[in-house]
Amino acid sequence: MFAILQGAWEWLAAIPHLTAYLIAAYTLYLLWIVLWIVLQKREPVATLSWVLSLAALPYAGLLIYYLLGPQKVKRQRLRRGRSRSGMDHYSSVCPPDSDCTELAKIAQSTTGFPPSTATDVAWLVDGSATYAAIIAAIASARDHVHVEYYIFNPDRTGTTLRDALVERARAGVKVRLLLDAVGSASVRQRFLRPLLEAGGEVAWFHPSQLLKPFKRPWLNMRTHRKIVVVDGRIAFTGGINVTDEEDEVLRADAYRDLHIRLEGHVVRSLQLVFVEDWIYATGHTHGAFKGQQLWPSDMPTRADGKIDAQVLVSGPDSSWEAIHRLQVAAIHEATERVWLVTPYFVPGEAARMALTSAALGGLDVRLLVPQMSDSKLVTYAARSYFDELLEAGVRIYEYGPRMLHTKAFLADDSVGIVGSANFDHRSFRLNFELSMMFRDRPLVGQLADLIEQELLDAQEVRFNRNRSLWRSRLPEAFARLTSPLL
């Protein structure tokens, strides 16, 4: 082996002007990389981070960027086609009523989903209560069950939910299961066979395209959404995936998380999100849903609901970063308090400025993050922002008993946002996310109570804390450099 390598080296060394050829090749590589990345028109910091990182990896960097670099997904045609499909109409014009606040207008302009209402909203804390509620709702299905998840593991929890879907499919209920090809990669055909044999349908979101020439793979753009819609009447969404890791009955170290059960007019919007994702993932038309009561005629109208609710979606199919934009706008509107709960905290400049400005202005600004998330790199990156926030007056808490996976936000006593989106670049730009915005004082009050309970099990971070150079400050500083890429 050594002789072969030595011979190859001698052969290369014998090539005339080899150094000049290598310099020219590297120059062309740099030029190609720079043009490709710059034309993406991303933030300058992210652009420079990619350029410098890939410049240090000649040629291999081209493959890395091809696999993991930013990509744009064109799905606006689905929204423009809503009126033709009979699903619903797309509009950027907010209804002319008192409920259409500035936040509601921003939400509709960036997502196309109008302000709506719910007749009932229930907070579901942790996996055990969430799975029980979902399975009970599935058991009541008479027409269809639509399920979309990022992580759906074939463990005890996943098997129980699959069996509930199989039972309904055998009863003649139309069951559709949409899974992310990366998050649910552990699911095999053998696990899905009972559902398929019962008449259920399964689709994969962004399966690998590595073997397809001239098509960039979708390794870095996932559906992070968690959606269950039963008969177009009951819906679930939030942050809880289908896995034993989120069931505190099965595991003492299960993630601490929050989910939502909804009824009312807003279920129409959640149904529409699933339908669009299904059509996009399968390539089918709206005709695939023919004969189903996607929008029951006796569903509550917007006027019937007393809880103001609005669906927020974001993803690489839109440059507006709707969820990010809404949270920053809500921070600027707040006059009393801003509370943020997130497992991954890697803020952009706009969000960081909004949080520190609110704290400097005397508002009660609190940030609750896990003491140690499931990614050390993200944990260190998050801590690199703590000193600036603490100096501005933000109170920071680290939740210790378990891994905190809740994604919640509240501004004053009137605005609450809960869903799948973390407070980081990946959620704001790369993943397909879904959150719910509520503008209802009693419901937001309940959310505030839930957050206060979590704060009791968290330790407040002090500004003058002692931190080791090698174990804290340096890792945090280097992790922060990767923030635009996280």
| Residues 210-255: tens digit of each pLDDT | 555 545 556 678 999 999 999 999 999 999 999 999 999 999 999 9
405 is catalytic: yes
Domain boundaries, position 276? 115-208+215-305
Residue 314 lies in a domain: no
Contact predicate 133/124, CB 8 Å:
yes
**How far is residue 276's CA from residue 9's CA, in Å, rounded to a whole number?**
55
Please state the rounded mean pLDDT for residues 296-323. 92
How far CA 180 is from CA of 112, 149, 183, 206, in Å, comes to 24, 7, 5, 7
Q: What is the CA radius of gyration of the chain?
A: 24
Check whether residue 157 and residue 274 sit in a common domain: yes
**97: in domain:** no
Residues 59 and 139 in one domain: no
Q: Is residue 19 part of a domain?
A: yes
Catalytic choice (146, 265, 286, 405): 405
pTM summary value: 0.85
Of 305, 335, 367, at which residue does a domain stop? Answer: 305
pLDDT of residue 26: 75
Residue 103, domain member (yes or no):
no
Catalytic position from the list 144, 146, 206, 226:
226
Residue 95 maps to a domain: no
Residue of 412, 424, 425, 440 marked active site:
412
CA distance 236 to 258: 11
pLDDT band at residue 87 under the 50/70/90 scheme = very low
The mean pLDDT value of the chain amounts to 86
Same domain, yes or no, for 18 and 121? Answer: no
In three-state secondary structure terms, 409 is: strand
CA 477 to CA 374: how far, in whole Å?
19
Residue at 39 is within a domain? yes
For residues 260 and 339, state if they share a domain. Answer: no
Q: Of the residues 88, 180, 231, 247, which is catalytic?
A: 231
**226 is a catalytic site residue:** yes
Instruction: Please indicate whether residue 407 is annotated as part of the active site.
Output: yes
**304 catalytic, yes or no?**
no
Q: What is the pLDDT of residue 92?
A: 53
Same domain, 170 and 34: no
Look at residue 24 and tell me whether its pLDDT is greater than 90: no
> Active-site residue among 180, 407, 424, 440?
407
175 and 269 share a domain? yes
Check whether residue 152 and residue 266 sit in a common domain. Answer: yes
Is the same domain home to 270 and 351? no
Q: Is 9 in the same domain as 127?
A: no
Cα angle at 365 between 105 and 328, to 5 degrees? Answer: 25
| 58, part of any domain | yes
